[in-house]
Structure 1
């Protein structure tokens, strides 16, 4: 009788179909952002291309974990799944943050004169804090098989809380941007949906990311609860892919040539 632990089964990885469907859904999004990265190279398109590739790999691994008993007993494969799902989120978060600041430049929003807005609008500071959260999450996930797993759990909790704070800041700045564009009657010259109503699209994206992070924070004390497929798919996987789809809205990402130098 085998005494090996099936990590996938213990954490509720049962839906092969769900993982396969999501991996397939990300393929056309990956292709679209990859094409845009060559046609209109911007940070947002490049990062979203990377995010989609990470999600495809992560869902393929999850399908393998759910469908194979031997794979489910492989701790390194389970850790890879957790790391990939944790790491990829930075792409969604920073893409939204970048677009909000870029649209503030286009609307000549004066909110940057406010001290709080100057701090939260510091791209370098936001990146540093975000990367710290990513590193903490990676280290925490990789310590699942260490002699002191409590340390890994603590690091994952700190990472999750930092991401929640950053996502909340994104939601705040997005709401401020939407109010500014509404009061100024801002419309983009090309008349595209993303150009004219981009701030409201970004509000929806920020809301979806906030749902994802609130769920992650509420369940951060238990991997079993956090990976419960009945909750994880609708409250984590679904908000992410809807947000990625919204990033593909025509005109949402302004060309570099339009941004003030």
Structure 2
């Protein structure tokens, strides 16, 4: 039975064309990463398959919510769409984080003695914290009443989730910066030949991607107490949707993501020595 409230339009969904255009743009990226997950199976590619397919589904649903009145009046459909967008960002941020750590592993640098830096490189801790942020976001999205009003608890959960995402995004940028410093030092000591385009420009790509992630999260954090402004498509598309798809385009650079058997220290003799000492 119709509620006579178009929840999609009430929260700021208006452009069906933009939603379907982004769905079309994500389609070839989803196909590319599905192919790469078979040709070069890595956690990064698997995670990007998850992100691109979720974004494809989320934008299709967003377009349907705007174009089909009865669907727009379905609160459950809107909540499902918001959850898809939240879960999707988990995949993108974790893929970026994993790629940075994989490339750092190949550098074979001594592990930092700084406990804070070592903690930021703990994949399990990062993943668990990301999961917590997503869970809080899902709980916040599910707290909307049938009248479209978000409870005070829901607002608090949304804010906490957003802040956690921002902190992790800043950590991702920090990791990319540290890796860039390592790479500069290494390339100053040796010359490498026959590298792919992605490998040669990995640091620039990762730093640009990390900066785009920060733009996306900075906007979300700045508007977390003003949902109407956050969902305003004049801001949301250029500051959230565009940075995300640009990051996906950067991550699809040939040769950027190393094969699983390449994710090991670059100097095997050093690894052997460390193993013997252990």
Give your verdict on TM over 0.5.
Answer: yes
SS at match of 1:135: helix
Matched, 1:22 2:26: no
Normalising by the residue count of structure 2, what TM-score does the alignment of the two structures yield?
0.89
Contact 2:176 2:206 in 1 (8 A): yes
Distance 2:25 2:122 in 1: 34
Q: Which residue of 1 aligns with 2:252?
A: 248
Distance in 1, matches of 2:23 and 2:101, equals: 31
**Cα distance 1:182–1:81, how it changes in 2: closer, same or farther (>3 A)?**
same
1:236 partnered with 2:228: no
CA shift, 1:188, in A, is: 5.9
Matches within 5 A, 1:26-41: 26-41=26-41
For residues 114 and 189 of structure 1, what CA distance do their matches in structure 2 show? 34
> Residue deviations 1:123-175, cap 9 Å, x none?
11111111111111111111112797221111111111000000000001101
Q: How far apart, CA to CA, are the structure 2 residues paired with 1:3 and 1:159? A: 29
Q: Distance in 2 between matches of 1:169 and 1:255?
A: 24
CA RMSD of aligned residues (A): 1.8
- Please state how far the C-alpha of 1:106 moved relative to its aligned partner: 1.1
Q: Residues 67 and 89 from structure 1, CA distance in 2 versus in 1: closer, same or farther, beyond 3 angstroms?
A: same
Moved >4 Å (runs of 4+): 186-190
Query: Which 10-residue stretch deviates more, 5-14 or 186-195?
Result: 186-195
The alignment covers a number of residue pairs equal to 260
Cα pair 1:111 1:117 within 8 Å, conserved: no
**Unaligned segments of structure 2, at least 5 residues:** 266-278
Residue 112 of structure 2 aligns to a residue whose secondary structure is: helix
The alpha carbon displacement at 1:211 in A equals 0.5
Shift of 1:210: 0.6
**Residue aligning to 2:6:** 6
Cα 1:14–1:34 change in 2 (3 A) is: same
Task: State the Cα distance separating 1:80 from its structure 2 match.
Answer: 0.9
Residue 127 of structure 1 is matched in structure 2 by: 127
Q: Distance in 1 between matches of 2:87 and 2:232?
A: 19
* Residues 91, 187 of structure 1: alpha-carbon distance in 2 compared, 3 angstrom cutoff: farther
- Structure 1 unaligned regions, length at least 5: none
CA deviations on 1:184-234 (whole Å, 9 max, x unpaired) are: 217665411211221221101100111110111111112211110000000
Q: Tell me by how many angstroms 1:10 deviates.
A: 1.6
Shift of 1:56: 0.8
